[in-house]
Amino acid sequence: MDRRFLIAMLVVSAAVFGFAFSHFSGRGKARHYTEAQIQRGAYLVNTIGGCNDCHTPKEMTAHGPVLNKKMFLAGAPSDEKVPAIPKGLGKKGGWALFGTMDGTTFAGPWGVSFAANLTPDTATGIGAWTESMFIKSMREGKYWGSGRSLLPPMPWEEIGKLSTNDLRDIFAYLMSIKPIHNSVPDLIPPGGSHR
């Protein structure tokens, strides 16, 4: 076979693979950031940011809840079972918030909210997001950066007060973690049916 043809074929297949990879995960975006940005993002997310508290499912052990590492920051599991919602939730003087045992799903006067998949999976996570979408989502509390208002208990009002550099570093880190395919269930409006 002609050597130039072979080289051309290799270039084409590398491009196709590159496209396929970037199509299924936004992880390649992490390349736009320095290692220092990613490390600082990791520090913010995994310490005071507390993102794991809600965005990583927990397993209950004799010593309390531990993070399910296989679902690191992947949000409420797609097959999350929503228990029956107690009557009177959100009434004055009553209970305002209930959470599931895995710590990713929350019932309150707003209905039922499910912590989002923050991994760079393109189809089910935030792999298709741009950095500015992420910053806008945190600053303005909007789903996908410009959609409906984000529901409790997502603390976007506090997170959104971080500096642009901090939010950028958080995004850089999220783009660098392992993409996990997990389709988080849709929110259930107040009085809506649970599955």
Taking the alpha carbons at both ends of the chain, their separation in whole angstroms is 59
d(CA 99, CA 82): 10
The answer to whether 55 contacts ligand HEC (rule: CB under 6 A) is yes
Q: Which of 72, 122, 143, 181 binds ligand HEC (CB under 6 A)?
A: 143
The answer to whether 50 contacts ligand HEC (rule: CB under 6 A) is yes
The answer to whether 116 contacts ligand HEC (rule: CB under 6 A) is yes
Q: Which residues contact 36 (CB under 8 A, 6 or more apart)?
A: none
The answer to whether 192 contacts ligand HEC (rule: CB under 6 A) is no
Residue 119's nearest CA partner among 166, 165, 151, 72 is 72
Q: Which of 43, 111, 144, 183 binds ligand HEC (CB under 6 A)?
A: 144
Q: Which of 18, 28, 83, 153 binds ligand HEC (CB under 6 A)?
A: 153
d(CA 31, CA 46): 21
The contact set with ligand HEC (CB under 6 A) reads: 45, 49-51, 53-55, 106, 113, 115-116, 118, 137, 143-144, 150-151, 153-155, 159, 170, 187
